[in-house]
Amino acid sequence: MVSREYKRDSSLREKFQLLRSITNSNAESETSIIVDASKYIKKLKQKVEKINNETTSEQYLCHHTEPMVTVETLEKGFMIKVMSGKNEAGLLVCVLEAFDDLGLEVVEARVSCMDSFSLHAIGSPN
């Protein structure tokens, strides 16, 4: 017959192993697993906040027609975001031609042209 204490300890070990696997932790001690889980939760909260901020920006754009453009410099290039509340015909082509005219090469881009226009591009000088 298995004691209640053994069952409880076994159940607790299983829960720590599950928590360890969810957070991709390599920790062995229970304290370290909890610390790693805390860090993991903090990162998830930051991701949620970032998504909420992006959603707020996109909602703002739905009510305004002027495109919103942000540019960030990267170690070897730039990242540009262009968002507009409405998707006008030829807008993507116009933006890409502007990059070309400025001598910039788009290395990677993510575009959405459904109801609104959104372009996230990473590029470098040509």
Percentage with pLDDT > 90 across the chain:
10
Does the pLDDT value for residue 1 go beyond 70?
no
Does the pLDDT value for residue 64 go beyond 70?
no
The CATH number assigned to the domain with range 64-125 reads: 3.30.70
pLDDT digits (tens, 9 = 90+) for 70-101: 888 888 888 888 888 777 777 788 888 888 88
Pair 45, 39: CB distance under 8 Å: no
Q: How far is the C-alpha of 87 from the C-alpha of 49, rounded, in Å?
A: 26
pLDDT tier, 46 (very low <50, low <70, confident <90, very high otherwise): very high
Pair 83, 68: CB distance under 8 Å: yes
Task: Check residue 119 and give its pLDDT.
Answer: 87
The edge-to-edge listing of strands for the beta sheet with 68-74 is 68-74, 77-84, 117-125, 104-112
Domain extents for the chain? 4-60, 64-125
Which range of 1-5, 37-41, 79-83, 96-100 scores highest in mean pLDDT? It is 37-41
Q: Which two tokens stand for residue 15?
A: 């829960």
Does the pLDDT value for residue 3 go beyond 80?
yes
pLDDT tier, 59 (very low <50, low <70, confident <90, very high otherwise): low
DSSP 17: H
Beta strands in the chain (DSSP E): 68-74, 77-84, 104-112, 117-125
